[in-house]
Structure 1
Amino acid sequence: MGWNLRTVDWNVTSMDQNLKTVDWNDTSMDQNRKTVGSNVTTMDRDFVWDVFLASISYKSWPLLYRIKVTLQLSQYFYYPLLAAVGVPLNLVTILILSRGKCGLSKCVTWYLVAMAAADLMVVIFDLILKQIPIRYKDQFRFLVYMPVCNYHAVLLYAVTDCSVWFTVTFTFDRFVAICCQKLKTKYCTARTAAAVLGTVTVLSGLKNIFWYFMLSSWYALSTYMWFCVQSLEAHSSLVFAVLELLHYILNPCVPFAVILLLNALTVRHILVSSRARRRLQGPSSGERPRDLEMESRRKSIISMFVISGNFILLWALFMLFYIWQRLFYDSQLPVNRDMYLPLFVKELGIMLQLLSCCTNTGIYAVTQTKFREHLKNMGKNAFTLIVKFIKP
């Protein structure tokens, strides 16, 4: 972030110029940043420099840039905290669900475990190995000398695709279980779930191999779209431009649309079936018997809506920014500058998108009684072990 605060040029004529040139101006100010932070630890040097610049220039900056700087400063604490919470939460979720004692079907368990595992990989490859090094550039300067960035990119985008598409496949499975009773017995099985998850994993890996050729092996440590240095061939290649566009269409645009469609069809089916069952049960004046079938669907409906809704809410801003960028920032069409989205939208979108990888544990704890019980017991056991270890 330091480079962005140091090099932004208020005389540029468009936001597009700012986005495309700001990533390469870090070197010229590197020595100045180091002298300002010479009396603090290496980990704190970037943060001290950025706070120093913000303190002397904050009032002269436009409002939108103030918001962006404030978000970037908060990321020094937000990303490490999110990593410290996300890794253990996803590990605990995998451990609890994999025991199969939460009252869930094997099919649902497969999907939830796979989603937690994919989220854990996103936390590692994106949050820990990408966002945190970008924020603390001095501490992770050694990455510049490690020619593995294109491998990192393939893994990062593959696990992100898995995380998103596992959510889609889970939503589809619950849609079938609720709305397609004839297909339910054949499709909603552990065997089908394993086959679907395996297929999604393989396809996600194959789909993202092109990043190995589009990006070079060297880290750029920038907050622009790529965290690797883009290869010269890819920079001017129409083929790679089309592949990149397809990449962002397949994730998150298509999953977003599919989840919204499945949720809409599910709501429609629930409303129609509820009215039909009420008519069959007779007038509402008397006392109605318990509808066991509708009660059995309740947990599936809640899990589906909460998990898919969580994805939609936390990915919406990220998707909006990149669609808008493709339409206006990277196109050659003459557009009004008022149509540009502020740069802080990207920062906030990334923060929310990464938060989505750490929220499912809380969702399960709220919606699943047995999961909540196992989580409490695990917390009590961990606390007991810590107390025994501390006591002499």
Structure 2
Amino acid sequence: MNRTFDRIMKVYYAVLAAIGVPVNLAAIVILSRGNCGLSTCTTYYLVSMSAADLMVVITEVILIQFQYFYYPLCFLNITPMCSIIDVLARVAADCSVWFTVTFTIDRFMAICCQKLKTKYCTKTTAVVVCSTTCSLLFLKNIPFYFVYEPGKIVDNVPWFCVIKPSIYIDPGWLAFDWLDTILTPILPFVLILFLNALTVRHILLASRVRKELKGQSKSGCLRDSELESRRRSVLLLFTISGSFILLWLAYVIFFIYYIFTGIEHSNYVLFWYIFGKVCWMLRTLNCCTNTFIYGVTQSQFRKQVKSAVKYPLTAIIRLINKDIILFLDSQMSICIRQLLHTTLD
């Protein structure tokens, strides 16, 4: 059973990497051009989220999962190297989660706090928030570098990363582990659900008031232009937040089960072993969904994607047409010269 599930995971992570790298690169390039009809601050948050998702694919999938399935013995198994990769993977996952939170806060300010909107919803604020968040998360994860010890020493070279036994009993490390899990993803869960609930409440109240003021409470025939303009922004917010919550929910449930039962990893029954792996797979899948969400909810983004796909095809067609025209011109000139030569003779 474990071997069969390992084969499934091997194929799954290969497909995830094949999709995750190009779609996140495409999202970064297309959004950075600023032609998707989004505000500059929203665009910056989305670009930051795509960059963090791309780093998750590179570190968690390609450097960690691929190393386990495809190249189990290589330089990545050297203890300092795999310790650094673990820290980078944690930073990437944390940034992916917390950039979703900062984006949710930005949309909450834009929709519900009109007085703060002009001050908070700017590109400068987005740059400060994202850079500060990334820096703090990097500092938070540095202690994980010291969690591991070598599994064996070969020719004075430390190989493999084995968690130190003291980590499981040291009060300081246990408290730090709790803090780490609360920060990602329990606190983001609470913040996103709370802010989205306030956003929905504000939208419902504002919609009711505007309909009453416009005399639409009975007929409902006319469409409010301001509410319509907010619809795409709200749809983008809720789809991104909903996707994050759904894909991380199983992982949170698994963590709560692990904490309250106190079960050790070595004592997992087959069901909980597979469930834990599935939770990790769903969590990793979150790094590929946002680009597809942009395509579904944003018409301008779809147009940019179509243009990007058509561009190399049109360039090839133009090049072929140019070569054909040059060839025909050369053949025509040869025919004309031969005709003139024959006539003169």
For the aligned pair, the TM-score class normalised by the smaller chain equals 0.7 to 0.9
Contact 1:90/1:117 (8 A) holds in 2: yes
Corresponding residue of 1:366: 296
Superposed CA deviations along residues 53-103 of structure 1, whole A, max 9, x for unmatched, are xxxxxxxxxxxxx4x654332111110111011101101100000011111
Q: Is 1:296 matched up with 2:226?
A: no
Q: State the TM-score, normalizing by the size of structure 1.
A: 0.74
Q: Distance in 2 between matches of 1:354 and 1:155?
A: 15
Corresponding residue of 1:115: 49
Instruction: Decide whether aligned partners of structure 1 residues 148 and 90 sit closer, same or farther in structure 2, where only a CA change above 3 A counts.
Output: same
Partner AA of 2:131 in structure 1:
G
Q: Distance in 1 between matches of 2:219 and 2:43?
A: 39
Contact 1:158/1:204 (8 A) holds in 2: yes
Greater per-residue helix proportion: 2
Instruction: Decide whether aligned partners of structure 1 residues 203 and 309 sit closer, same or farther in structure 2, where only a CA change above 3 A counts.
Output: same
**In structure 2, which of residues 207, 210, 215 is the aligned counterpart of residue 277 of structure 1?**
210
Partner AA of 2:26 in structure 1:
V
Superposed CA deviations along residues 166-222 of structure 1, whole A, max 9, x for unmatched, are 000001110111111111111111111111101101110011011012223669xxx
Instruction: Decide whether aligned partners of structure 1 residues 70 and 313 sit closer, same or farther in structure 2, where only a CA change above 3 A counts.
Output: farther
Corresponding residue of 1:130: 64
Partner AA of 2:284 in structure 1:
L
Corresponding residue of 1:316: 249
Partner AA of 1:298 in structure 2:
R
Contact 2:59/2:89 (8 A) holds in 1: yes
Partner AA of 2:280 in structure 1:
I
Work out the percentage of aligned pairs sharing the same amino acid.
48
Q: Helix, strand or coil: the match of 2:272?
A: coil
Q: Distance in 1 between matches of 2:68 and 2:22?
A: 23
Superposed CA deviations along residues 226-254 of structure 1, whole A, max 9, x for unmatched, are x9311344344221111111111110111
Contact 2:34/2:43 (8 A) holds in 1: yes
**In structure 2, which of residues 69, 86, 89 is the aligned counterpart of residue 156 of structure 1?**
89
Contact 2:28/2:50 (8 A) holds in 1: yes
Contact 2:40/2:123 (8 A) holds in 1: yes
Instruction: Decide whether aligned partners of structure 1 residues 171 and 81 sit closer, same or farther in structure 2, where only a CA change above 3 A counts.
Output: same
Partner AA of 1:245 in structure 2:
W
Q: Distance in 2 between matches of 1:243 and 1:285?
A: 57
Corresponding residue of 1:246: 179
Contact 1:168/1:255 (8 A) holds in 2: yes
**In structure 1, which of residues 71, 74, 94 is the aligned counterpart of residue 28 of structure 2?**
94
- My pick for the range that moved more, 124-133 or 144-153, is 144-153
Corresponding residue of 1:57: none
Corresponding residue of 2:17: 83
Deviation at 1:147, TM superposition (A): 3.2
Instruction: Decide whether aligned partners of structure 1 residues 133 and 274 sit closer, same or farther in structure 2, where only a CA change above 3 A counts.
Output: same
Superposed CA deviations along residues 30-73 of structure 1, whole A, max 9, x for unmatched, are xxxxxxxxxxxxxxxxxxxxxxxxxxxxxxxxxxxx4x654332
Contact 1:114/1:166 (8 A) holds in 2: yes
Q: Distance in 2 between matches of 1:167 and 1:257?
A: 13
Corresponding residue of 1:41: none
Structure of greater Rg: 2
Corresponding residue of 1:211: 144
RMSD over equivalenced CA pairs, Å:
2.6
Q: Is 1:185 matched up with 2:115?
A: no
Corresponding residue of 1:170: 103
Contact 1:71/1:348 (8 A) holds in 2: no
Contact 2:216/2:222 (8 A) holds in 1: no
Partner AA of 1:180 in structure 2:
C
Instruction: Decide whether aligned partners of structure 1 residues 141 and 286 sit closer, same or farther in structure 2, where only a CA change above 3 A counts.
Output: closer
Q: Distance in 1 between matches of 2:161 and 2:52?
A: 22
Instruction: Decide whether aligned partners of structure 1 residues 287 and 152 sit closer, same or farther in structure 2, where only a CA change above 3 A counts.
Output: closer
Contact 1:318/1:346 (8 A) holds in 2: yes
Superposed CA deviations along residues 326-352 of structure 1, whole A, max 9, x for unmatched, are 221348xxxxx99x9622211111111
**In structure 1, which of residues 348, 356, 362 is the aligned counterpart of residue 286 of structure 2?**
356
Instruction: Decide whether aligned partners of structure 1 residues 283 and 85 sit closer, same or farther in structure 2, where only a CA change above 3 A counts.
Output: closer
Unaligned runs of 5+ in 1: 1-65, 220-226, 332-336
Contact 1:71/1:347 (8 A) holds in 2: no
Q: Distance in 2 between matches of 1:387 and 1:88?
A: 24
